Amino acid sequence: MNCEQVRELLGKKERADLGFYPTPFYKLERLSRHLGVNLFIKREDFSGKSLFGGNKIRKLEYLLGDAKRQGAEYIFTYGATQSNHAMQTVEACRREGLKPVLYLLAIVEPDEEDLKGNLLLDKIMGAEVHIIKMNPGESEAEADERMYRLGKEHIARLEAEGHKCYDIPIGGASIVGTAGFIGGFVELKEQLDEMGLHVDYLFHANGTGSTMAGLVAGKRLLGSDIRIVSVDVSCHGGDYKRSRVQLGNDTLRWLGAEPVLREEDFDIDASYYLPGYEIPSEGGTEAIKMMAEKEGLLLDPVYSGKGFAGLIDYVRSGKVAPGSNVVFLHTGGATALFAEKEILGKLW
Ligand SMILES: *Cc1c(COP(=O)(O)O)cnc(C)c1O
C-alpha cells in the first residue's frame, strides 16, 4: 500500500483532533557530528495542544473518537502516579468535554502536600485521582491487579447509575490506540519521501508496546525497510512479544487490513532499562545530558532518556555503522524532570 491508501483506512475511524500534525522532523547537526551518524529527530513530544504533549496524544485521538462515538461521559485510565499517559489523557478529556478518572499506582510515593510533575498537572486540570499505595509485601504486579479491579468496580457502580464509561488500558495500549502509530509511521514516511531521505534505523523508548506495534504495522503496510529498534524501559514477561504481535495484527484487522505481522518483525532490546522502571540509569542520565548540552532538547529519565541511551550504545558499539541515517522518535515525558527526586536521578 502507499501512504494515501493507509490514510484512507485510518480515515474511516472516528478521531478526535488533539494534536498538531505533522510533528516536526529534522536533523540534529551537532549530535550527528558528535556521534558520527546522521541523526534525525521526530518530535512526538511536541504533539499535544497543551505545553506537554507526547506519544499518547496520537493514540488518544482514536481512543476519544471511539469513546465519543459510544456516547461516553467518563474516561477511566491507569498508570503510575507520574504516568505521562494519564496526564495526556486528562488534557485530551478536558479538550473534548469528557470527565477523566485516574487510578494511579504509587511506585514512588507522592508527597500529598507538595505534588510534582504529571500528578500536579492531573490535579490542576481537575481529574478525579485515586492513588493506590503499595501494601507491605505486595509485588508491583499484584498492586496493578488491585488497581485495575478497583477501577472496574468504580465503572460498574457508575454504569449501574446510568453513566456511560470508556475504559482505556494502561498506556492507551488497545487496538484503537495502536492505530494512532500506524498513522504516525505514515506521517514519518511522508516526511522522509519529501526529503528524499532513506533511513536505516528508527529508535524509540518502549513501554506497553503499542507505539511499537503501530509503527511496525505501519512499516509492513508500506513495505518500508527501516529497522525499528524498540528499547525497553521496564521488565516484560515471556509472552510479551507474542502479545504485541497480536495487538498489531488485531489493529490491522480492525482497520480492514491483512494481519501480516510476525515475531521477526519486532526488534525489542531489554538491555537498557535496569535498575528498573522509574529508577534512573547511568546510561539514561548520560543520554539526557548529551541531548541537553549538544542540542538544547529535553529527554526524561523514565522513557526517552533510556531509549536514547540505547541508540548511543548501538552507535558506539558499531551495531549501527558510522554514517548511517538514524531517527530518534522523541516520545515526550520531560515533565518527569519535575517529578520526585528518586525518579530524576543526578542530572546536574
Ligand atoms: C508511554 C511512553 C512511552 C512508551 O510508549 P508505549 O506505547 O507504552 O510503549 C515512551 N516514552 C514516553 C515518554 C512515554 O510516556
Which residues lie with the beta carbon below 6 Å from any ligand 1 atom?
54-55, 84-85, 171, 173, 205-212, 300, 303-304, 331-333
In angstroms, what is the span from residue 348 Cα to ligand 1's centroid? 25
pLDDT confidence band for 65 (50 / 70 / 90): very high
The Å distance, Cα 254 to ligand 1 centre, comes to 22
Ligand 1 pocket: which of 331, 335, 337 to mutate (most atoms <8 Å of CB)? 331
Count CB atoms within 10 A of the CB of residue 13. 17
Residue whose C-alpha cell is 495487538:
247
Alpha-helical regions (H) of the chain? 3-11, 29-35, 56-69, 84-96, 117-124, 140-160, 175-195, 210-222, 240-254, 282-295, 304-316, 341-344
Please name the helix (run of DSSP H) or strand (run of DSSP E) that holds residue 128, with its range, or none. strand 128-133
| CA 85 to ligand 1 centroid distance, Å | 8
Closest ligand 1 atom, residue 45 Cα: 13
Q: What is the DSSP track for 159-197? A: HHTT--EEE--GGG-SHHHHHHHHHHHHHHHHHHHHHT-
Give the percent of the chain with pLDDT over 70. Answer: 100
Beta bridge partners of 41: 26, 328
Q: How far apart are CA 181 and CA 243, in angstroms?
A: 17
Query: What was the pLDDT predicted at 48?
Result: 80
Residue nearest to atom 5 of ligand 1 (CA): 207
| Cα–Cα dist 177/214, whole Å | 9
CA of residue 185 to ligand 1 center, whole Å: 15
Task: Output the pLDDT for position 222.
Answer: 98
pLDDT digits (tens, 9 = 90+) for 81-117: 999 999 999 999 999 999 999 999 999 999 999 999 9
What pLDDT is recorded for position 29? Answer: 98
C-alpha cell at 306: 533510556
Q: What is the pLDDT of residue 244?
A: 98
CA 239 to centroid of chain Cα atoms: 20
Atom of ligand 1 nearest to the CA of 208: 8
Could you report the per-residue pLDDT of 1-58, keeping only the tens digit for each?
Answer: 999 999 999 999 999 999 999 999 999 999 999 999 999 999 999 998 888 989 999 9
Active site residues: 83
First to last CA, the chain: 48
Q: What is the pLDDT of residues 186-210, one digit of tens each?
A: 999 999 999 999 999 999 999 999 9
Ligand 1 pocket test, candidate residues 303, 329, 338, most atoms within 8 A of CB: 303
What does the pLDDT read at residue 97? Answer: 98
pLDDT of residue 49: 85
pLDDT of 286 higher than 90: yes
